[in-house]
């Protein structure tokens, strides 16, 4: 493997992942700073809760594309599975710790799914469906993301053990979901304590997110 090319691909993947989609969409829509509203994350969920389904859908599509683009470029530049897997993981890190947002960002779920769709479509489909169904049934977006991530790890091991997944991609389907689950640590604490917010529920009265949103001249949008 050409180490220099792989490093270039990884740096490019981080920059692609760092692209602050939610921040830009929120600024364009209503000049809102997502890092000061709601969960203070810049992913599709906080965008949707703050600005509505249309804005959330745009962020979701672009963030998914970031994951796909990062691994596709790595594939074109190197053709090496290890470099492709690394690029996918680094793109997720970039999304959650964006250089353009001074280390802030989203939780990496959608960008990770984009990379997974390219790397292991057979794992992506059931993992995505798992997350979607859990979210729909419980109305907890965080729980859906966590369950989808757990399913990715389980299916990755199964695919590898049956010869349908390269060892380098097994690393991706293990390390990336673990990173995403760790990024949901605060959600897990709230789920366990019964204080996690469901999709469609308003912010708790008087919280910082709602106060800042009002201060920025916006109204809460329905999920």
What phi and psi values does residue 98 have, to the nearest 5 degrees? -70, 135
Q: Say if residues 32 and 78 touch (Cβ distance below 8 Å).
A: no
For residue 84, being part of any structural domain is answered with: yes
For residue 222, being part of any structural domain is answered with: no
Domain count for the chain: 1
| Domain with 45 in it | 3-215
Distance (Å, whole) CA 216 – CA 30: 9
- Give me the pLDDT at residue 1, please: 53
- Give me the pLDDT at residue 45, please: 92
- Give me the pLDDT at residue 203, please: 52
Query: What secondary structure does DSSP assign to 98-135, as a single string?
Result: BGGGTTB---SHHHHHHHHHHH-HHHHHHHHHHHHHHH
Interval 161-187: pLDDT, tens: 999 999 999 999 999 999 999 999 999
- Give me the pLDDT at residue 199, please: 85
Residue in the structure block whose two tokens are 């912010």: 203
- Give me the pLDDT at residue 223, please: 36
For residue 139, being part of any structural domain is answered with: yes
Interval 97-115: pLDDT, tens: 999 999 999 999 999 999 9
- Give me the pLDDT at residue 95, please: 98
Q: Which two tokens stand for residue 179?
A: 């990173």
For residue 98, being part of any structural domain is answered with: yes
Q: Say if residues 213 and 31 touch (Cβ distance below 8 Å).
A: no
Nearest to 219 by CA among 25, 50, 27, 35: 50
Both ends of the chain: CA-CA distance in Å? 46
Residue in the structure block whose two tokens are 């959330």: 56
Distance (Å, whole) CA 198 – CA 209: 16
For residue 221, being part of any structural domain is answered with: no
Residue in the structure block whose two tokens are 């692609």: 16
Q: Say if residues 139 and 193 touch (Cβ distance below 8 Å).
A: no
Q: How far is CA 18 from CA 44, 106, 206, in A?
A: 14, 10, 31
Q: How far is CA 149 from CA 131, 134, 143, 174, in A?
A: 8, 12, 10, 9
Distance (Å, whole) CA 125 – CA 112: 13
Show the low-confidence residues of the chain (pLDDT under 50).
205-215, 217, 219-223
- Give me the pLDDT at residue 81, please: 97
For residue 220, being part of any structural domain is answered with: no
For residue 49, being part of any structural domain is answered with: yes
For residue 80, being part of any structural domain is answered with: yes
């Amino acid at each position: 493997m050409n180490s220099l090319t792989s490093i270039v691909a990884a740096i490019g993947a981080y920059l692609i992942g760092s692209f602050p989609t939610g921040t830009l969409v929120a600024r364009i829509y209503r000049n809102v700073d997502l890092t000061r509203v709601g969960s203070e994350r810049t992913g599709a969920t906080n965008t949707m809760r703050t600005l509505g389904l249309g804005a959330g859908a745009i962020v979701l599509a672009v963030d998914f594309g970031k994951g796909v683009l990062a691994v596709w470029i790595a594939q074109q530049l190197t053709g090496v599975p290890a470099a492709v897997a690394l690029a996918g993981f680094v793109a997720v890190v970039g999304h959650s710790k964006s250089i353009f947002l001074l280390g802030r960002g989203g939780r990496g779920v959608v960008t990770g799914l984009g990379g997974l769709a390219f790397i292991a479509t057979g794992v992506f489909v059931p993992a995505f469906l798992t997350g979607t169904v859990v979210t729909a049934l419980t109305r907890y977006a965080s729980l859906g993301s966590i369950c989808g991530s757990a399913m990715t790890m389980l299916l990755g091991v199964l695919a590898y053990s049956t010869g349908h997944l390269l060892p380098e991609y097994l690393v991706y389907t293990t390390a990336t979901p673990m990173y995403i689950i760790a990024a949901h640590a605060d959600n897990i604490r709230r789920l366990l304590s019964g204080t996690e917010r469901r999709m469609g529920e308003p912010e708790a009265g008087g919280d910082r997110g709602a106060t800042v949103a009002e201060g920025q001249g916006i109204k809460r949008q329905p999920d």
